[in-house]
Structure 1
Amino acid sequence: MDTAQNKKKDFWGFPVTHFTYFFQWQIINGYLTLWMEQQGHLDGTTAGFVFSMMAFMSLIFQPIFGVISDRLVFKKNLLATISIASILIGPYFQWLFIPLVHINAALVAVVTGIFLSFVFNGGVSVIEQYVQRASLANGFEYAHSRMGGSLAGACASFLGGKLFLWSPNSIFWACTVMGVVLSFTVLFSDKIHMENAAAAGDTTGSLDWSLIGQIFRIRNFWILSIFYIGTSALYDVFDQQFIIFFKTFFHTAAAGTTAYSYMTTGQIALEFLLMFPMPWLINKIGSRNGLIAYGVILCIRIVGSALSPSVAWVVILRLLAGFEMPLVLTSIMKYIAGAFDIRVYATVYALASNFAKQISVFIFSTVAGNLYDSIGFQHTYFILGAIVAVATIIAAIFLTKEDPVQAGEVEASQKQ
């Protein structure tokens, strides 16, 4: 009885960690472009350059963070640093961003890229791999903790639109509040069953550097990287200025912003609901197939948006993202655990699903920004959709099947 209670108690800190972190994530990804357009007075190309700089800086942070995370395993040094840094989001955008814009637009892109990339583009892999390892040690499904992130996304989308209309800068101070809660949760609440810690990797703090080097000689690592470059990265690029595209269906900017907040809230609410049964589904179909299904749905959503004759179709297609995120988040965690050495879990996750992804975001954010300005949203979406389709086909043909026991998809006793 006591053991069950302890496991339950040790679970609940992690959904709170996910909630507070991804509340900030959704605010930045959902409203930063709009804020830069209306408050920062940046055009599409310059806004795209900000996101490109975030992606570029993550190319530095993510490999380093991955190796450090594999060395730290359950130590919270890096995790706490990222959490505390997120508290500074409100002060930065309130008092530093606009003065930097007046000095030089390129300068503000560089500074913003370094700061936000440290907290989000680089920091997300630290948060995610820590909770995934905790799930292995504490005996819970990662996706059930990640429901906290989905709930946060819905709350941030709903509240973010209202906060933005009330006072644009208030969205960043909401991030600061969440950063305070996140820091306290990480430092004082998240607990690990250290008696089971070996299931999550080498807890001695030593790391075989030759093992890390071997990652780059594994074909499956490169196939997974290509898949993420062509799918998950394009998901981010597609969403960066989607709110601008969405507003074109409305007569006033305020009406578009309000509708966008309701639509995104509905999408993430669906994501939240699907997070609970998704581990069961992925255990049935396999994490490799889950990744491929994600690519197919993403392609349909991007191309479908380009063909949408009305806002109703855009909303329906946007809701498909509620299926995409549970698929990819559950699948990638199980797939890396089942297809690679668990000792380098964080490194593979950081390199294949984040580092490689950010290379693509770095390239395509500015390119897509230019395309939006020159050929329009619809034609740009056709190009993005074609890239997603090619990456998904490559994965379907070449991606290696995972070990279902190592991935946690079946018990060892069930494997024939």
Structure 2
Amino acid sequence: MKMNIDMIKNKNYWFSSGYLITFYAAWSLWWSFYAIWLKSKIGLSGEQLGVVYAANSAAAMFFMIFYGIIQDKLQIGKAVVTFQSIMMILIGPFLIYVYEPLLRQDFILGVCIGAPVLSAGFISGSALIDSFIERISRLCNFEFGPARFWGSFGYAAATFVAGISFGIDPHINFWLASGVAAIYFIINLFFKPTQKLSVSNNKPQIIVPKPNIPTISEILSLFALRKFWLFVVFIIGTFSFYTIYDQQLFPNFYTSFFEKEETGYKIYGYLNSFQVFLEASCMIIAPYFINKLGAKKSLLVAALVMICRIGLSASLDNVYLVSLVKLFHAIEIPLFILAMFKYIVANFDTRLSATLYLVGFNISSNLGVIVLSKPVGKLFDNHGYSTTFYILASIVLIISCIAIFTLSDNKQANNQ
């Protein structure tokens, strides 16, 4: 109870929550209907959709390396986050006046220009802000999970709005995203991480945390660790395939159950919003479960949830049951993301958390998306949803079984 009261009184917690709620709200306003927009409004095929996602992931890899290494050097410095926030503000005009016309007139040029812009602001930005706030939480004494709750809450609320406005005009979503991004920029402008410590005269003294900054050689030494690469293989074999299923395939799969596209967009928006509200609640509950079960077992449980969702989607033809299965995502994401941070802290140097999260988790998962998006898109074009889903579920199952023996089961933080 005391920890919760201290957290509520912690200014750093509320600023961090502000970062997360505005970032994820801005992202949701355009990203939650991105695949549907590309397919139904722009008219891309499954294979072209795969090319777009692969290019986005390739650009995201570059920015994740850049963001991870620079942010580990800056620690709680805000230069990278400021650059990211400016790119976020530009999202609305870019999507409307540059990206959409190019995709219609010159597909390859549109993909090449769009990928770095979307990645710099949002696709890589999500990993950047998560790792930034996770580091703030450790330095300023509050749990990351409750702060991340506000990110999920923002995503859910924005998805609810996006489902309605998308049916009217997708451009409304894009302008709203830029508007919320401007609020994110203002929060970043005023935030300065501080701690209050008692001094001899019984007055609180406000200080700025001064973490131990790693050297470049220490950051690069990660790539020589066997357990780092085993972690990467697990991420590619589970989260990459799940990401392709959830972002590239599922939105259009779900809306195909409805006769009218507009009805499908609205219902999907409502369902996605409800799912993310549940996800937000699980963000609060998940840390207690993970602390009890351990990071490795929690990651494996999250992978099991992935397998169930993908496999059941292949076998169900009832929209109500498919909607229920969609809600599995609310369990999987908090478990996987929070357990992954716990796994990093328990098995690696905590000073390198940004590099580990952005490179070990996000880049490895994006590498898998780059390699697999186009072939999976082609597989769907040739064989449809059911066969594609069964194959994806089988691969995730195999990798998860291997991970039982390859992931480390350390439970103590490594504070090198």
> What is the TM-score normalised by the length of structure 2?
0.92
CA apart distance, 1:174: 1.4
CA drift of 1:102 comes to 4.0
Q: Per the alignment, do residues 405 and 101 of structure 1 end up closer, same or farther by CA in structure 2, a change over 3 Å counting?
A: closer
- Name the residue aligned to 2:106: 104
Distance 1:87 1:10 in 2: 24
- Specify the SS of the correspondent of 2:167: helix
Opposite residue 179 of structure 1, the aligned amino acid is: A
Residue from 67, 87, 90 that aligns with 1:88 = 90
2:273 is the counterpart of 1:256: no
Equivalent residue, structure 1, for 2:234: 227
Q: What CA RMSD, in Å, does the superposition of the two structures yield over aligned residues?
A: 2.0
Unaligned runs of 5+ in 1: 408-416
- State the match for 1:31 in structure 2: 33
The Cα of 1:130 is off from its aligned counterpart by: 0.8
**Identity of matched residues, %:** 28
Which residue number in structure 1 is paired with residue 198 of structure 2? none
- Give me the whole-angstrom Cα distance separating, in 2, the residues matched to 1:101 and 1:276: 40
- Note if contact 1:164-1:170 (Cα within 8 Å) is conserved in structure 2: yes
Residue 188 (structure 1) aligned to one of 180, 184, 190: 190
Q: What are structure 2's unaligned runs of at least 5 residues?
A: 196-205
More deviation, 37-46/133-142: 37-46
Alignment deviations for residues 2-22 of structure 1 (CA, whole Å, 9 cap, x no partner):
x95995222101111111111
* C-alpha deviation, 1:122, in angstroms: 2.1
Moved more, 94-103 or 258-267: 94-103
CA–CA distance in structure 1, aligned partners of residues 27 and 412 of structure 2: 31
Amino acid at match of 1:43: S
1:118-267 map, 5 Å: 118-189=120-191, 191-193=193-195, 195=207, 197=209, 201-203=211-213, 207-239=214-246, 240-267=248-275
Q: Distance in 2 between matches of 1:266 and 1:208?
A: 44
**C-alpha displacement at 1:322, in angstroms?**
0.6
Q: Which residue of 1 aligns with 2:201?
A: none
Separation (CA, whole Å) in 2 of partners of 1:246 and 1:343: 42
Distance 1:179-1:55 versus aligned 2 partners, 3 A rule: same
Equivalences for residues 5-404 of structure 1 within 5 A: 7-189=9-191, 191-193=193-195, 195=207, 197=209, 201-203=211-213, 207-239=214-246, 240-404=248-412
Contact 1:7–1:138, Cα closer than 8 Å, also in 2: no
**1:41 and 1:248 mapped to 2: Cα distance?**
15
Cα pair 1:137 1:192 within 8 Å, conserved: no
Quick one: structure 1 residues 6 and 230, their matched pair in 2 at CA, closer, same or farther if it must change by over 3 Å? closer
* 1-structure distance, mates of 2:330, 2:309: 11
The one-letter code sitting in structure 2 at the alignment partner of 1:55 is S
Shift of 1:328: 1.1
- Contact persistence 1:16–1:185 (CA under 8 A): yes
Counterpart residue identity of residue 299, structure 1: I
2:42 counterpart SS class = coil
Change (3 A) 1:5 1:49: closer
C-alpha displacement of 1:29: 3.2
Could you tell me whether the CA contact under 8 Å between 1:215 and 1:221 is conserved in 2? yes
Question: Which string of whole-angstrom CA distances, capped at 9 and with x for unpartnered residues, describes residues 34-76 of structure 1?
Answer: 1122332222221221111110112212112111011000110
**Given the two structures, how large is their TM-score scaled by the length of structure 1?**
0.92
Does the aligned pair in 1 maintain the 2:149–2:280 contact within 8 Å? yes
Question: Residues 21 and 151 of structure 2 are in contact (CA less than 8 Å); yes or no, is this contact kept in structure 1?
Answer: yes
Residue 137 and residue 235 in structure 1: after superposition, are their counterparts in 2 closer, same or farther (change >3 A)? same
Instruction: Decide whether aligned partners of structure 1 residues 281 and 5 sit closer, same or farther in structure 2, where only a CA change above 3 A counts.
Output: closer
Q: Quick one: which amino acid aligns to residue 386 of structure 1?
A: S
Match of 2:10, SS? helix
How far 1:382 moved relative to its partner?
Answer: 0.9
Partners of 1:177 and 1:305 in 2: how far apart?
Answer: 36
Separation in 2, partners of 1:8, 1:174: 30
Moved over 6 A (4+): none
